[in-house]
Structure 1
Amino acid sequence: MIDFRYHLVSIVAVFLALAVGLVLGTTMLQDPLLDTLKSETGELREQSDRLRADKEGSEAFGEGADQMTAALAGDVLDGRLDGEDVVIVSSPGADEALREGMEQRIEQAGGSVEGRIAFTETYLDSSRSAFVDELTEQLAEGIEPDGEGPYERAGSLLAAAVSAERADKADKDAGGEGGFDGETVLAGFAEADLLATEGEPAGAADIAVVLAPAAPFPGAEEGGEQPPGNGIMIALLRAFNDGGTENGAVLVGAADAAGPGGLIAQARTEKARYTTADAAGRPTGDVAAVLALAAAAEGDTGHFGTGEGAESFVPDPLPESRDTEDAEDTEEDASATGSERRSPPEGRP
């Protein structure tokens, strides 16, 4: 008969066998296993060091490029936006430093920033779309806004409000009195806390620069659906570009705006017909964005920067300075004057 002592001895024997096996196994495998771990750790450390060095080198190169760009920006941009009146339109959450950098480069290029419009988070609140539509209807005196949805119609009205071309037409049609009044439209939207203005953007824009938010709008859903704020701002961009301002609109932002959920990313996904630039926010990117703006003002649109969907970093060929023709005429006049001066008096060989 098998008693309890037999079971106890069997269990002890099993544990002793396991212990002996573990000791023998670890003794035999210890050296190869440690060597393998040491080798893999060394390789990972080398990879980490290389990546860190590459990152530091890229950052140093970028800083050097920015320093060189800042030094040469005046010559690179000179005359490319001469005579162009610009209104800066900031999305909710747009970086103030981005706006300041763009304004500086626009002025270096000879453009004039006539005014600024900054939209509020309230404008992006889709639960207030009925209110936005009603306000649009109330303020649309002398004009019939285009579009089916509330934000399409509001965008059409706001684009007309800042358009210099539309302001000129209103003056001609109404003799400067009555009819459509862009200043009243902007004041109405501002009073409703949908936007704020600086300067005199009403009736001032030949072209609009729309600044993307520093980070994607909240509300993106799983499955790739974009934040609702993107659709609202893109409706505005379409309105500015499709007959709002004379030379359309340009969407400008930093690299994140071309990433997942970004405003520029969605514009490119929808095959936007207006220009986008995604490398702004530092001197090199700001200069590139203004070159893209100058090309758009001449009717050459495209997508520029480093993000997905960008065709190149800057337009190719670059837009010419608007002083070029004047300079060529001056050179021709000087050459002709010089020839006349060098012509021998009559009768002298």
Structure 2
Amino acid sequence: MIDFRYHLVSIVAVFLALTVGLVLGTTMLQDPLLNTLKSETSDLREQSDTLRTEKERAEALNEGGDEMAAVFAEDVLDRRLDGTGVVVVSAPGADAEVRTGLESRVEQAGGTVEGHLALADKYIDPDQATFVGELADQLAEGADASGGAGGPYERAAARLAEAVGAVPEDGDGGSGDGGEDGDGGSEEGEGSDEGGGGGIDGEAVLAGFAEAGLLTVEGEPVDAADAVLVVAPATPFPTGASPSPEGEEAEPHGNDAVLPLVAAVGGDAPALLAGDASAAGPGGLIARVRRDGTPVATADAVGRPSGDVAAVLALAEALEDDPGHYGTGEEADGFLPDPPPPAREADETGERTEKTADRRTPQAG
């Protein structure tokens, strides 16, 4: 008969066997296991030290490259943008220091920063899209390009691009050459509204968007853009609910709002979209531009001297040739144009090159 004492002896025997097994296992396996762990830990520590040394060396080389770029920037950029009026457009969330750094390099290259448009968060708010489009239509009433096609941001982009002069001048009474005040060119007679009307009133357009809280204006950007520099946000816009064209991931709504403006200003005037590495990464505006094949130059290493110099060289190249993509991100053609674009020569007035003037002349037919 199985009694309590039998159960007690069985339990004690089981625990005794476990204890003996643990003792034997730890004494027999302790040394080989510890030796293996110590060896692997030592290897990992050596790899970590090697990677840390390489990282520190890479950082030192980058800092040295930036120091060299800062020292020789004036020589490298000399006359690359001579006679070029540049209008700067900042996307919502763009870093102000990055923008001012790029502007200083533009001036080193002989360009003139004519003005700055800073898009507000309200501009890319999905709830404001209808309002943005309606405002664009109102500001275009009575002009050759009244209304416009496309969605609200396409129409707003067209108005803003026209306001700064970054579009082809068509018809007999374009707004660019008839009057320097950006008021449709009607004061001088040549830009009269006969036979279809003149262009939009650039000052009224920018004032309308500014009064609506969609952007702020600095300087005198109306009809001043021989080239346009767009500064991407410091971090990618938040992801929205709309799927990307590939259907693989959600696309930030901010990209859908700003991209039409990037495309519009790059429709005729040379344009550069500049940002840091994050802008060329997932969800970044530069990555979207490169993927869509938008005809503007891009630079994804700004915010440090070498990257800023490369960005201005990219803009200078766009003045002379097809726009390229530069930096360290995917689909970049290289870090900077190779060979660098040539220096430019200003015309008799010292304001615009002959090529720039030709580009802005209305084309017959």
**How many angstroms apart in 2 are the aligned matches of 1:146 and 1:316?**
39
Structure 1 residue 322: Cα displacement: 1.3
> Matched residue pairs, number?
323
What's the counterpart of residue 187 of structure 1?
207
* Cα-to-partner distance string for 1:151-201 (whole Å, 9 max, x where unaligned): 001001100000166632453863457742101100000000000010011
Residue deviations 1:203-253, cap 9 Å, x none? 11111100000011112569422211011111111111124xxx2321001
Q: Distance in 1 between matches of 2:151 and 2:346?
A: 44
Amino acid of the structure 1 residue aligned with 2:287: A
Report deviation, 1:324.
Answer: 11
TM-score (norm 2): 0.84
Give the aligned partner of residue 19 of structure 1: 19
1:315 and 2:340 are equivalent in the alignment: no
Question: Are 1:150 and 2:152 counterparts?
Answer: yes
What is the TM-score when the length of structure 1 is the normalising length?
0.88
Identity of aligned residues (%): 58
Structure 2 match to 1:53: 53
CA distance in 2, matches of 1:232, 1:144: 21
SS of the residue 2:113 aligns to: strand
For the Cα contact (< 8 Å) 1:273–1:301, is it kept in 2?
yes
- The 3 A distance-change label for structure 1 pair 324 and 119 is closer
Which residue, 152, 155, 174 being the options, matches 2:186? 174
Report if the CA contact (8 A) 1:147-1:156 is conserved: no
Residue-by-residue CA offset, 1:294-323 (whole Å, 9 max, x unaligned): 011113211111001101111122110114
2:284 to 246, 255, 262: 262
After TM superposition, the structure 1 = structure 2 runs for residues 114-129 of structure 1, keeping only pairs within 5 Å, are: 114-129=114-129
1:226·1:266 contact (CA, 8 Å) conserved in 2?
A: no
Alpha-carbon distance, 1:101 to partner = 0.9
Larger radius of gyration: 1
1:81 alignment partner in structure 2: 81
Extract unaligned runs of 5+ from structure 2: 349-365
The one-character-per-residue Cα deviations of 1:84-104 (angstroms, maximum 9, x if unpaired) are 100000001101111111111
Distance 1:206 1:324, change over 3 A: closer
Return the alpha-carbon distance in structure 1 between the equivalents of residues 148 and 63 of structure 2.
45
Matched residue SS, 1:70:
helix
Assess, with a 3 A threshold, how the Cα gap between structure 1 residues 278 and 147 changes in structure 2: closer, same or farther: farther
In structure 1, how many angstroms separate the alpha carbons of the residues matched to 2:271 and 2:295? 10
SS in structure 1 of the partner of residue 266 of structure 2: helix
The equivalent of 1:162 in structure 2 is 164
Give the counterpart letter for 1:193 in structure 2. Answer: G
Query: Among residues 231, 241, 245, which one is paired with 1:211 in the alignment?
Result: 231
SS at match of 1:29: helix
- Separation in 1, partners of 2:206, 2:34: 72
Distance in 2 between the 1:227 and 1:195 partners?
20
Partner of 2:264 in structure 1?
A: 239
Q: How big is the alpha-carbon RMSD for the aligned residues of Structure 1 and Structure 2?
A: 2.0
1:220 and 1:152 map into 2 onto residues whose CA distance is 19
Q: Map Cα deviations across residues 243-297 of structure 1 (whole Å, 9 max, x no partner).
A: 4xxx232100111111111111111111222111101111000000000000111
On the 8 A contact 2:117/2:217 being kept in 1, the answer is yes
The 5 A counterparts of 1:216-235 are: 216-220=236-240, 223-235=248-260
In structure 1, C-alpha distance between the alignment counterparts of 2:235 and 2:286, rounded to whole Å: 11
